[in-house]
């Protein structure tokens, strides 16, 4: 039986701010992501979402508590080997890639989870993996386009394809997406959500965690949700139980109405309700 993709037990993360004062980023986090589960992590700015994703990707260790990723305890294994098993889409990777790379080359860097191409390690079948990933996310026309000439939405789809060809082309064992739709206009967002849904359908066994601020960015294939506020879990579990008006409102500190149509979620606040909350 495959181990849980993620298992966090009583996790606390504390850091010191620029003024030297301790900052509590996460506190009392108990969370499990099982094989095949598609999670979304929601919360306001400063809730601890990015910190949670860094723990999940082996990018940091907790101050206390236990973090296990793909059956390995963070702090007890070589994190470089662990990270090669994880597909990641985040802003840091997007900034680090050479602008002159073609779309095909961008995805090719994901074969070995590196930023630079590794021509001595590449084989003809790797190109086949790249073409299949580009087709899956609807980015085939971007194969010959320079990365720097792609729109933000096109770059995000290339990064998703890049994450899906990890581990030598066989695909990652865990997929982490840090605000993949941030800054996208409506058409670009919808194309990306479609690409995420297509990848989930193609790899239903692949556990995925997507961090976002907005319910409208959640793929319809999502199975579970975690709401985070002030470094603590507000609610976590099957998506239909968590993405309801009351828990989402408690998470964001607003009288939010949540509804779902055709598998997609939407949250809104009545205009006359804004005076009930301090938004400074």
The domain over range 6-276 is classified in CATH as 3.40.50.300: yes
Please report which confidence band the pLDDT of residue 270 belongs to, taking 50, 70 and 90 as the band edges: low
| Residue 90, number of CB atoms within 10 A of its CB | 21
Q: What is the mean pLDDT of the chain?
A: 92
> 202-242 pLDDT, tens per residue?
999 999 999 998 999 999 999 999 999 999 999 999 999 99
> 116-140 pLDDT, tens per residue?
888 888 899 999 999 999 999 999 9
Structure tokens at 115: 């930023």
Task: Give the Cα separation of 88 and 127 in Å (integer).
Answer: 20
Count Cα atoms within 13 angstroms, Cβ side, for 153: 14
Task: Give the Cα separation of 110 and 93 in Å (integer).
Answer: 11
Structure tokens at 74: 């963070």
Distances (CA, A) of 77 to 72, 73, 133, 172, 217: 7, 7, 30, 18, 34
- For the chain, give every domain's residue range: 6-276
> 48-98 pLDDT, tens per residue?
999 999 999 988 899 999 999 999 898 777 777 888 899 999 999 999 999
Q: Is 76 exposed, middle or buried (0-12, 13-18, 19+ CB in 10 A)?
A: exposed
């Amino acid at each position: 039986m495959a181990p849980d993709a993620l298992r966090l037990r009583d996790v606390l993360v504390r850091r010191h701010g620029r003024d030297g004062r301790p900052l509590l980023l996460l506190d009392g986090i108990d969370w499990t992501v099982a094989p095949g589960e598609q999670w979304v992590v929601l919360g306001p700015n400063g809730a601890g979402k990015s910190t949670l994703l860094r723990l999940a990707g082996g990018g940091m260790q907790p101050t206390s508590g236990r973090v296990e990723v793909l059956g390995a305890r963070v702090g007890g294994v070589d994190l470089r080997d662990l990270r090669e098993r994880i597909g990641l889409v985040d802003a840091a990777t997007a900034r680090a890639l050479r602008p002159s790379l073609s779309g095909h080359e961008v995805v090719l860097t994901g074969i070995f989870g590196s930023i630079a191409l590794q021509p001595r390690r590449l084989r003809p079948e790797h190109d086949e993996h790249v073409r299949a990933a580009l087709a899956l996310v609807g980015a085939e026309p971007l194969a010959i386009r320079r990365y720097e000439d792609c729109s933000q939405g096109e770059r995000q789809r290339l990064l998703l394809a890049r994450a899906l060809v990890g581990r030598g082309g066989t695909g990652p064992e865990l997929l982490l997406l840090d605000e993949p739709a941030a800054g996208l206009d409506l058409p670009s967002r919808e194309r990306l959500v479609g690409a995420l849904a297509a990848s989930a359908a193609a790899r239903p066994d692949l556990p995925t965690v997507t961090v976002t601020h907005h319910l409208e960015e959640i793929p319809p294939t999502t199975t579970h949700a975690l709401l985070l506020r002030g470094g603590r879990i507000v609610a976590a579990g099957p998506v239909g139980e968590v993405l309801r008006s009351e828990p989402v409102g408690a998470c964001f500190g607003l009288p939010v109405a949540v509804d779902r149509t055709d598998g997609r979620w939407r949250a809104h606040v009545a205009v006359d309700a804004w005076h009930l909350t301090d938004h400074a």
